[in-house]
Amino acid sequence: MSLVDTRTPDPKKFIKGATGDWEMVIGLEIHAQVTSESKLFSGSSTEFGQPPNSNVSFVDAAMPGMLPTINEECVRQAVRTGLGLKAKINNRSIFDRKNYFYPDLPQGYQISQFKDPIVGEGVVKLDMGKDGEVEIGIERLHLEQDAGKSIHDLHPNMSLIDLNRSGVALMEIVSKPDIRSSEEARSFIAKIRTILRYLGTCDGNMEQGSLRADINVSVRAPGGEFGTRCEIKNVNSMRFAVAAIEYEARRQIDILEDGGTIDQETRLFDSKSGKTRSMRSKEEAHDYRYFPDPDLLPLEFDDEFVAELAKNLPELPDEKHDRFVNDYKITPYDASVLISSRINADFFENVAKGRDGKLAANWVINEFFGRLAKEDLSVANSPINAQQLGSIIDLISGGDISGKIAKDLFEIVWVEGGEPAKIVEERGMKQVSDTGAIEKIIEEIIAANPEQVAKVKEKPQLAGWFVGQVMKASQGKANPQAVNKILKEKLGL
């Protein structure tokens, strides 16, 4: 892989050092567990959380004479992902063996793809808010087997092995070294996760280990030659990724500014201390002795196979974003919030369809998502559905309730459920737009408060006090526009 610098150094991202400014260069390898019923080369189930060693076939346990056979669904998932990354799909790819000894690697080698991966170069766009859009290159995506799990703390002098994960399909998505800050790295991981979830090719659950990242970090003088990199292995949260990058960049800068050099090595991030520590040096690095797996033929498919998958691909986050901006006239920022997950986007769309897009976006983002976050819920287990929220918005748009009453209504529907229009009717929440009724209330208030009337004639901004009194008297149901208009007339403002 040849290293090409695709970015223009941005002073805002520089790190201040004792000797001057430094720039981070980051490349990511994301390991994403493929969503599939069975493993990459065996029929065993991939279900998470099963008792140890219950999802293990003879192939997964590397019994003598057992042979791998490719799971076609995993191939389809990899191709779908490649399409989602706008990447080149390789109609011919090769499975290689990566040889090393470890007890949770039963075969003594991992079947992976080395020289000829199933997916080649692609590109991912990141929306960095006020910093605009950034394009991060994808180097490749390949399919490989996951290893089992070693458990070291259940026995005083033995390690226990759980092979449930052994042989589960992973996609390794490798970025180009195009990332220049920890925030971009976070955004990249988040974007990849969103794309994978949209496609349904990986559940993206970082806590369960379905998505983990190896992070390559180096520092250099802004725009200078690439520095020596260190690889931080197996980072399993976005927060840790940011912390690991920040720590690691600072560590490297300190070494360089003290006149030292960076050793190319593999490091681990300790989330407790927030530091990275050396795992193995370049000299200790494994010689994986890659060679084509003779048990498997080259993986080949035709253009039609790819076209069929492309045809049935769901709308991707970037496309959905642009469509939301165009069709619903919402801001790009709101659009990016709404498309962060497919289920959220679908919810918005169900609310917004046939209604005022901006109003819908406000309600979905501020009231609805805000409330979900507060109660640690998600759209999937929300007590309010899109149809209910939609009818609340209809009641606002139709002038039946005010924005304030709508919030009360939202609260009722959230807690008690029910049909919003019916609730408004039954509980008399409908706003009063009948000018006669409002006039009557205003006249009463004016009659009862001559001193205030005198004051407001001098200081028109005191009219707000009258509005408050009217709203109070009407239990918030008076149409605010009507109240304002009539007040002005009656008070002669």
Between 108 and 399, CB nearer to other proteins: 108
> Residue for token digits 């709404």?
338
Binding test (CB under 8 A) with other proteins, winner from 106, 117, 122, 177: 106
Residue 109 in contact with other proteins, rule: CB under 8 A: yes
- The b/e string for 70-100 (b: 16+ C-beta within 10 A; e otherwise) is bbeebbbbbbbbbbbbebebbeebbbbbbbe
Binding test (CB under 8 A) with other proteins, winner from 10, 47, 50, 58: 58
The DSSP bridge pattern shows strands 230-235 and 265-270 to be: parallel
Residue 151 in contact with other proteins, rule: CB under 8 A: no
Task: Please give the structure tokens belonging to residue 158.
Answer: 């033995």
Q: What is the DSSP string of 210-278?
A: SEEEEEEEEEESTTS-----EEEEEE-SHHHHHHHHHHHHHHHHHHHHTT--PPPEEEEEETTTTEEEE
Residue 97 in contact with other proteins, rule: CB under 8 A: yes
Binding test (CB under 8 A) with other proteins, winner from 6, 19, 91, 159: 159
| Adjacent-strand bridge partners of 15 | 22
Are residues 128 and 134 in contact, defined by beta-carbon separation less than 8 angstroms? Answer: yes
Binding test (CB under 8 A) with other proteins, winner from 7, 17, 62, 439: 62
Least Å distance, CB 215 to other proteins, is: 24
Residue 291 in contact with other proteins, rule: CB under 8 A: yes
Q: What is the DSSP string of 293-344?
A: -TTS--EE--HHHHHHHHHTPPPPHHHHHHHHHHHH---HHHHHHHTTSHHH
Residue 4 in contact with other proteins, rule: CB under 8 A: no
Q: Which range, of 124-132, 283-291, 355-363, 378-386, touches other proteins by CB under 8 A?
A: 283-291
Residue 112 in contact with other proteins, rule: CB under 8 A: no
Are residues 29 and 172 in contact, defined by beta-carbon separation less than 8 angstroms? Answer: yes
In this structure, the number of other CB atoms found within 10 A of the CB of residue 216 comes to: 19
Least Å distance, CB 290 to other proteins, is: 8
Residue 373 in contact with other proteins, rule: CB under 8 A: no
Binding test (CB under 8 A) with other proteins, winner from 151, 262, 279, 296: 296
Per-residue mark of binding to other proteins, 408-447 (x: CB under 8 A):
----------------------------------------
Sequence length of the chain is 493
Residue 300 in contact with other proteins, rule: CB under 8 A: no
Least Å distance, CB 173 to other proteins, is: 25
> Which residues of the shown chain bind other proteins in the complex (CB under 8 A)?
58, 61-70, 97, 99, 101, 103, 106-109, 159, 161, 287, 289-291, 294-297
